[in-house]
Amino acid sequence: MTELKTTQSIPTTLHLRSEVQPSDVQDVRRIVEASQFFSAAEVDVAVELVQERLQKGAASGYEFLFVEHPVLDQDRLRQQVIGYVCYGEIPCTVGSYDIYWIAISPDHQRNRIGQQLMQSVELAAKKLNARRLYIDTSGKPLYTPTRNFYVRCGYNIACELADFYAPGDSKIIFEKAIPPH
C-alpha cells in the first residue's frame, strides 16, 4: 500500500488526457465508487465503458477526458486521475452528443474542476461537430446539487420522465445547444 500525498496547489487550467490507458479501468472504478452517487450496477456500467473503449477504440463511440493532478508517490511526482468525463455521439444522430458519465474525486469537488471539465468536454465535442449536448440525471433530492451544477453550466431541462429509473425516481434530460463556429 503506497501512501499518496496530494500537493497543495490546484492548477487553474486542467491537465487533461484524452487517450485511454489500461490503468483508467481501476481509476474510474475508484472515482465513481468514491463519489457515493452511484449503485454497484452503475459503477459496473461506468467501468464497462472504459473497457469497451480499450477494446474497440473510437469505434466504441465512447470518448474520454481524464483530469490528472500531480501527486508525490514515494518521493516521485506522478499524475493521478482525479476526475473524468465519458461522452460520445449518440448513435443514429448527426451531431447530438451524450455526456454518459462525469465524476470528480470527492477531495477535489470544491475546486471548480467539474465546471472546467464541462467546458472542456463542450470544446472537445464542438471540434467533433457536436450541435447539441445531452446529460441525464435523477430527479431525486440526492441529485439536487448535480442538477444545480448542470444549470450553472448552462444546461436546460428538456424533459422529465416519471418513474424512469425506479418507482418515484424520474429521469431528467438536460440539453445545451452548442453555437455553430
Shortest distance (Å) from residue 20 CB to a copy of itself: 20
Piece of the chain touching a copy of itself by CB under 8 A; list 15-23, 76-84, 102-110, 126-134:
126-134
Separation CA 73–CA 39 (nearest Å): 30
The residue whose grid cell reads 472537445 is 124
Of the pair 18, 93, the CB lying nearest a copy of itself is at 93
Beta strands in 36-115 (DSSP E): 63-73, 76-89, 96-104
The one among 84, 134, 149, 155 contacting a copy of itself by CB under 8 A: 134
Distance CA 6, CA 134 (A): 33
164 is an interface residue for a copy of itself by CB under 8 A: yes
Does 131 help bind a copy of itself (rule: CB under 8 A)? yes
Q: How many residues bind a copy of itself (CB under 8 A)?
A: 26
Say if residues 135 and 99 touch (Cβ distance below 8 Å).
Answer: yes
Cell of 109: 469537488
Q: What is the DSSP letter of 13?
A: S
Q: Which of 2, 12, 39, 55 binds a copy of itself (CB under 8 A)?
A: 39
Residue 124 grid coordinates:
472537445
Task: Fill in the amino acid letter for 178.
Answer: I
| Binding status of residue 158 toward a copy of itself by CB under 8 A | yes
Tallying the residues shown for the chain, one arrives at 181
By beta-carbon proximity to a copy of itself, the closer residue of 108 and 126 is 126
Q: Is 166 in the site for a copy of itself (CB under 8 A)?
A: yes
DSSP SS3 for 1: coil
According to the binding rule CB under 8 A, does residue 94 interact with a copy of itself? yes
Alpha-helical runs (H) found in 103-174: 113-127, 144-152
Site for a copy of itself in 64-93 (CB under 8 A): 90-93
Q: Which is nearer to a copy of itself, 42 or 73 (CB)?
A: 42
Binding site for a copy of itself (CB under 8 A): 39, 41-42, 45, 90-96, 131-132, 134, 158-161, 163-167, 173, 175, 177
